[in-house]
Amino acid sequence: MSVRRAFALPVIAALFALCAAVFAQTGTYNPDTPADPATEQRLRNLAGELRCLVCQNQTIADSNADLAVDLRREVRKQILQGKRDAEIKDYLVARYGDFVLYKPPVQANTAALWFGPLVLLVIGAGIWVALVRKRAAKVAANTVSAEDEQKAKSLLQ
């Protein structure tokens, strides 16, 4: 028993040392390998908002295109460097343009995109209100004279 324990102790110590070495490695700033869970979560969130320009209708989180892999690596590197999300997005917009953002920003050249549907809705509502009012006015104007009503009654009997 004691022999076995004497043997087990160095083994356990070695395992701990190995674990420590592995953790130390994930702790270093190597952008090629997954980092700590918090960083990876931020990377996933950010990558989900960035467009893969090769595959256009995919985010760089969903795509395995070479460029998407490169961009994920770049984003991870910048997170590890302590950059804020907005800074990382600005970095990519400066290079790839607004198109790299999956959700278009609200600005002058996207105004039609953001507010166009609302404008169309207002126009539609306006037309609808005008039509309803017109119809109501028509119904109100079509009052039947007492003579006609009498005539109708006699015909229906």
Partner 1 sequence: MTEIAQRKGAGTLRLAIPLVVFALLVFFLWRGLWRDPREVPSALIDKPAPDFTLPVLGDATRKFSPAEYRGKVWLLNVWGSWCISCQVEHPSLLSLAKMNAVPIVGFDWKDKPEAAAKWLAQQGGDPYALSVTDLDGRVAIDYGVYGAPETFVIDRQGVIRMKHIGPLDEASIKDKLLPMIRKLSQ
Q: Could you list the residues that contact partner 1 (CB under 8 A)?
A: 53-54, 56, 66-67, 70-71, 74, 93-99
Q: How far is the CB of 94 from partner 1 (least distance, A)?
A: 6
Q: How far is the CB of 36 from partner 1 (least distance, A)?
A: 23
Task: Let me know if 80 is exposed, middle or buried by CB neighbors in 10 A (0-12, 13-18, 19+).
Answer: middle
Q: How far is the CB of 37 from partner 1 (least distance, A)?
A: 25
Q: Nearest-CA neighbor of 80 among 20, 24, 36? A: 36
∠ at Cα 107 (102, 112), nearest 5°?
85
Task: Let me know if 63 is exposed, middle or buried by CB neighbors in 10 A (0-12, 13-18, 19+).
Answer: buried
- Of 56 and 154, the one with the shorter C-beta distance to partner 1 is 56
∠ at Cα 33 (28, 39), nearest 5°?
70
Q: How far is the CB of 143 from partner 1 (least distance, A)?
A: 19
